[in-house]
Chains A and B, each alone.
Chain A
Amino acid sequence: MPGISRFDMLKKYLALIRRGLGLILEYRVGMIIWMLTGAFPLIMLAVWLSLAQDGPIGSYSAGDFVSYYLLALYLRMMTAVWVAWELDNDIRHGELSIKLLHPLNPIHEYISFNLADKIFRFVLTTPLVVLVALLVPGVHYALNPLNLVLFVLATAVAWYLRYVTQYTVGLLAFWISQATTLQDIIWMFFLFLGGTIAPLELLPDAVRAVATYLPFRFMMSFPIEIMLGRLSNTDLLIGFALCAGWLALFHLISIFVWRRGLRSFSAYGA
């Protein structure tokens, strides 16, 4: 677009993130309580630990489970997305009008609020996770600079995949009044095929074979697999190639749905 430089975009993001942090700090108690509700991976950890008491399950020892679910919890925190509910509300109540009047695609306003939340969570949870990793016996990661870089990259991909798919589902509110129900169904698949209920390696062979290529894996499991050192170079390459493919696909779909949706937007409520 002419007239919009990268620098201007950065300034917009900084201003929006600043406002987002203002809001998050205003609602800090609620935000922290809400974060705690994301502790579901800990419940799964308890289940698997009790099962692993008499020896490893598959290739997972008790220590592996703790290592896995500690990161699963962290991933869950750092990729939390709720934009489907924001969109559903904004579209059906006409609040989207306000954002549409701005000379900036509304997705940037939604994303920057999520980024503000990520800054808040990063500051709050990272020290805790590091502390637990250092103090709890048996926790071990394949820590090297390359893995760390790949982990950060894969986490960013996981966040954006979750974001853009949920954004697209939220956009369905242009046509249907219960888009978020669809998100709830997707969420169930995500829990199962993304590696929350169990590490993907422990799923039945046929399911695992499919899950390896589905986008759910790249929303959660993939970054953990990297840090556990369970991926060969070939696995990594294929994994990131799949990431790129899914990202591009969902990104394009979201743009398409957005454009179609705007045509049927009714801007109700005023």
Chain B
Amino acid sequence: MSQISVEHLKKYYQVHQKEPGFTGSLKSFVRRKYTDVKAVDDLSFSIVAGEIVGFLGPNGAGKTTTLKVLSGLLYPTSGAVRVLNFIPQERRAEYLKQITLVMGQKQQLSWDLPALETFLVNQAIYEIPHTQFKSTLDELTQLLELAPLLKKQVRKLSLGERMKCELAAALLHRPKVLFLDEPTIGLDVTMQTKIRQFIGEYNRLHGATVILTSHYMADVTALCKRVIVIDHGKLLYDGDLAALSARIAPHKLIKVELSSPLDGHRLEDYGEVIRARGQRFDLLIPRAQTSEVAARMLSELPIADVTIEEPPIEQVITRVFEEAAEARRDAGIKDDADDED
């Protein structure tokens, strides 16, 4: 049964346009120009309990807006949204007690107090029984290695330490549904990995449903089997991450290392050489011919090592957006910025 269902969600913002400078201010004072920004434009999807879904799209695609609608912060312009059988924008206490939204760029911890102080406030606000609070805090402290951080003023923590505390504060009430908006933004690779592992662990331990946005594809590939790709507020792809690259990228990558020097041009016979470093070459081979070409290379060339890989997911995603942009151009749809009044 689906736990999150979004049907034909639209969220338009009215934004008033102002030219820079004093005359711009005057003009805008006399006559305000408004444009509708279609942050989310007819989006539908559904997610079942326990899934981790990667929510992908460039800046301004509508990811954050969708997450804010799902967590009850924004009223949809139209469409039907249900999470855990609640209508989010009604913001019922019983609903809010079962979800959480973590925004990498916003914090709920009091800047000048230790994180523990915020935890205690959340215990009261979420009506968490004392024993459950203790066991959850113990678990989070262990998973996130919080012990040395809890009693330090938040402002004295590093960015990564603060993010770990933010996550803990957001999960103390053991939410069933997690909306994570860029939870690893600005963190170094080690800390990203830790946060990522923690999210996976939390999902396994508590069967929580997770929607995750991230600009780091590593977060997505490590955690999400399924991705939802949106751009300009519209759905571009919803499904298996692996199937996406198969559909979008018609090539696979063959990496060969030769055992003796060879003229690079000879490799052009097998496929497009996209990279050559000494005796190592990367070739793009049409997906269907990959194994045949690889076999030919093995028999015809002095090969020390060969691997066949999917192209990097970043390239796949970039390709999805390029295709969507081409489709928009072909359809003659204007960009939002061109609409007036």
The residues of A with any CB-CB pair to B shorter than 8 Å are: 1, 3-4, 8, 11-12, 14-16, 18-19, 22-23, 26-27, 94-95, 97-98, 100-104, 262-263, 265-267, 269-270
CB contact under 8 A between A15 and B106, given known A27-B112, A103-B93: no
Choose one: A97, A104, A263; the contact of B103 (CB below 8 Å). Answer: A97
Q: How far is the CA of A104 from the CA of B92 in the complex (A)?
A: 9
Please provide the 3 A-B residue pairs with the shortest distance between their CB atoms, ordered closest to farther.
A15-B124, A103-B93, A103-B96
Q: How far is the CA of A270 from the CA of B66 in the complex (A)?
A: 12
A22 partner residues in chain B, CB cutoff 8 A: 110, 113, 117
Verify B113–A98 contact, CB threshold 8 A. Answer: no
The residues of B with any CB-CB pair to A shorter than 8 Å are: 13, 64, 68, 71-75, 91, 93-97, 100-101, 103, 105-108, 110, 112-113, 117-118, 120-127, 181
Choose one: A26, A95, A102; the contact of B125 (CB below 8 Å). Answer: A102
Verify B75–A19 contact, CB threshold 8 A. Answer: no
B121 partner residues in chain A, CB cutoff 8 A: 15-16, 18-19
CB contact under 8 A between A97 and B93, given known A19-B121, A22-B113, A23-B113: no
Verify B101–A101 contact, CB threshold 8 A. Answer: yes
Q: How far is the CA of A23 from the CA of B121 in the complex (A)?
A: 13
Choose one: B74, B97, B124; the contact of A12 (CB below 8 Å). Answer: B124
A269 partner residues in chain B, CB cutoff 8 A: 105-106
B126 partner residues in chain A, CB cutoff 8 A: 102-103
B93 partner residues in chain A, CB cutoff 8 A: 1, 3-4, 103-104
Q: How far is the CA of A1 from the CA of B92 in the complex (A)?
A: 9
Choose one: B74, B95, B97, B108; the contact of A98 (CB below 8 Å). Answer: B108
Verify B13–A23 contact, CB threshold 8 A. Answer: no
Choose one: A23, A27, A267; the contact of B74 (CB below 8 Å). Answer: A267
Chain B: minimal CB distance from A171 (Å)? 16
Choose one: B74, B125, B181; the contact of A266 (CB below 8 Å). Answer: B74
Q: How far is the CA of A220 from the CA of B298 in the complex (A)?
A: 92
CB contact under 8 A between A97 and B112, given known A12-B124, A19-B118: no
Choose one: B100, B106, B112, B124; the contact of A94 (CB below 8 Å). Answer: B106
Q: From A16, which residue of chain B is reached at the shortest CB distance?
A: B121
Chain B: minimal CB distance from A103 (Å)? 4
Q: From A8, which residue of chain B is reached at the shortest CB distance?
A: B127
Chain A: minimal CB distance from B37 (Å)? 10
B122 partner residues in chain A, CB cutoff 8 A: 102
Q: From A263, which residue of chain B is reached at the shortest CB distance?
A: B75
Q: From B113, which residue of chain A is reached at the shortest CB distance?
A: A22
Q: From B98, which residue of chain A is reached at the shortest CB distance?
A: A103
Report 24 cross-chain contacts, Cβ distance below 8 Å, ordered by A residue: A3-B94, A4-B93, A4-B127, A18-B120, A18-B121, A19-B110, A19-B113, A22-B117, A23-B113, A26-B113, A94-B106, A95-B106, A97-B68, A97-B101, A101-B72, A101-B73, A102-B125, A103-B95, A267-B68, A267-B73, A269-B106, A270-B64, A270-B103, A270-B106
Verify B75–A262 contact, CB threshold 8 A. Answer: yes
Verify A100–B103 contact, CB threshold 8 A. Answer: no
